[in-house]
Structure 1
Amino acid sequence: MPTSFLGSALRGTFFFIFGLWWSVRYPLQYLRRKPNAESQPSHGVRRVEIFEGAVKAFFALAGILIEQFIPDGPHLQLYSPKAHSWTDLTSWHYTTMYLFFLLSGIVDIVSHSPLKLPRGLDRLSLSVALLIEGLLFSFRDYSDAALDHHLHSLLAMAIFAGALCALLEIFIRDHIILETFRTGSFLLQGSWFWQIGFVLSPPWGGPGWDQTDGSNLTFLTMCFCWHYAGALAVLAANSAASRCCNESCQLKFGDIDVELDCGMCIHKGNKSSSSALLPEGFSDDK
């Protein structure tokens, strides 16, 4: 099952965009969360969830169309009666993956609509989509390509970690640690998909890395750890930026509130002092 660089880059971009967005959204949401806030999400949070679901569904639908209708794609044909064989199972493999993320996006939209579906259904659908993705990569046919198998085994670790985290979020909602861990798994998936593309089918052409060289396995295992370190660095940087942005906004609006309050106090003080200077009878006449 050969892997194309453009296809791998497309999948990596899908996960990396969501990881970047969550690395900013969740810290801001945590910093602005009130201590005694209700468990139900606010109207603004519901709109954000609906927007995320729409974007997820759009990307997944685009991925399905690209996998099926590229010039060499199967064009929705699963089995060829003439050749008596399956038609391009690689494209069908990724189509199945995108299909469950499409369903997850639709569930996100419906869950936060006025239909009032059970809370946590959106996280359940995301967990199922990730589990299906991990299942597909764990049991695909790698033949004798040891390096290809190793690359996708490392990817499956990030996938199942995100699936477990999303599953826990069904019961433990709005937990910043779980949200951060899931965000890191998406960033790791995104960057690792790009790495897979560079290793198996370099964009500059030519063959990929040697599948039989054991040192490549060792290096790529270290490289996977470096990718996760990079994901943690992105999380830390965006969290710090979100904190600075939140504090600056609070200071800005706090100064405005103080000035308004001071102005009202001064206005009331001038009014009371001026009336106090007037004779008692004159103030009564007014």
Structure 2
Amino acid sequence: MGTWIGHIAPGVFFVIFALWWHINNCLRYFRSLVHEHGEKSRAPTKFSGSTTYPCFCLSGKRARRLPIESIMKILITSIHFSIEIITGYDSKPRPHLGDENAHHTAMLFGFFLGSWIEVLVHYKVPLPKRITQVMGFLAFGIEGLMMVFHLHARSMIDAHIHQLLALTICCSMVGALGECFDPNNFWLIVARSFFALTQGTWFIQAAYVIWPKTTNPYFLWDPESHRSVSLLTMSYAYHLAGNAFVLIVVYLIVYMFSSTSTKLNIDLTKDVEARDQYKLICDTLEEENEL
């Protein structure tokens, strides 16, 4: 049960933070397209990316100015870290921590350290520029390193689950590295949200594959079957597609809320660069009618 929860809990947290980043990222993107009161002469607000976002839903200016997200990540990683130490400690034959628990603590420490750096940056401690993005890359790097060497003496299906998880983490590393060089790129932050969401949903999937909560043979996976590996890979592909769909839906919901309160400057028919890259269907039909 403890190991099952050990996969479900981080999965839920990854899902929550991925959606939180995506919602705030979309809000900032739409604000960057706004012209107040339709003033075309006024330049739109410049889009600004971030590794952490303020909680505007809280009441009171003082509460909204607190680094709530970073504090939550510190608390979550600290609690998880403590649970791993308590459940993995054994005094026989000598005091030690179980290998799997020790691996988990190493994975957690990168995110714990990165969250503290975010707090220091929030309170204007003079640290190097873009250090929060660098710490994000380091956190995913540590997680990926430990995940790759977390596969010894596991069944075929268990190892394949963790290999796919390691692949997702490597993609998160690439996105985080991109943010180090271009922190205000909307698509890099979308990539961070996407792969964090995929980590979350795949953690939850892994919990039910490795430790099923049913005796129904239709929901039990053969741990040493090549067919199970093939089906699990297909399942991972559906996770990728499904999570992309979720982020698109969230984007559209945020767009609807933003467009009802502000006037967005989104007009692809006047965007020369966009017209060069993509031929609008309406324009194509007009050309055919002229012919």
Q: Spell out, residue by residue over 1:123-166, the C-alpha distance to the aligned partner (whole angstroms, 9 max, x if none).
A: 11111011100110101243151111110000011111111111
- What letter matches 1:25 in structure 2? N
1:273 maps to none
Whether 2:256 is the aligned partner of 1:244: answer yes
Whole-angstrom CA distance in 2 between matches of 1:45 and 1:199: 34
2:155 to 145, 149, 153: 145
Q: 1:48 to 1:215 in 2, by over 3 A?
A: farther
Q: Spell out, residue by residue over 1:62-93, the C-alpha distance to the aligned partner (whole angstroms, 9 max, x if none).
A: 111222224xx31xx6xx5x425853111111
1:159 maps to 169
1:132 maps to 142
Q: Spell out, residue by residue over 1:186-239, the C-alpha distance to the aligned partner (whole angstroms, 9 max, x if none).
A: 000000000110011123479962221110000000100101111101100110
Whole-angstrom CA distance in 2 between matches of 1:130 and 1:235: 21
Larger radius of gyration: 1
**CA RMSD for the aligned pairs?**
2.8
Whether 2:87 is the aligned partner of 1:58: answer no
Count of aligned residue pairs for this structure pair: 242
TM-score using structure 2 length:
0.75
Whole-angstrom CA distance in 1 between matches of 2:183 and 2:66: 14
Whole-angstrom CA distance in 2 between matches of 1:49 and 1:170: 24
2:224 maps to 212
- What letter matches 2:155 in structure 1? A
Q: Equivalent residues in 2 for 1:67-216 (5 A)?
A: 67-70=84-87, 73-74=88-89, 80=91, 82-83=92-93, 86-204=96-214, 209-216=221-228
Q: 1:239 to 1:49 in 2, by over 3 A?
A: farther
1:8 maps to 7
> Is the 1:111–1:118 Cα contact (8 Å) retained in structure 2?
no
1:30 maps to 29
- What letter matches 1:235 in structure 2? L
TM-score using structure 1 length:
0.76
Gaps of 5+ in 2: 34-42, 55-63, 264-291
1:265 maps to none
> Is the 2:140–2:169 Cα contact (8 Å) retained in structure 1?
yes
> Is the 2:28–2:48 Cα contact (8 Å) retained in structure 1?
no
Q: 1:218 to 1:114 in 2, by over 3 A?
A: same
Shift of 1:118: 2.5
Whole-angstrom CA distance in 2 between matches of 1:96 and 1:50: 24
What's the secondary structure of 1:170's corresponding residue? helix
Shift of 1:50: 2.8
> Is the 1:100–1:132 Cα contact (8 Å) retained in structure 2?
yes
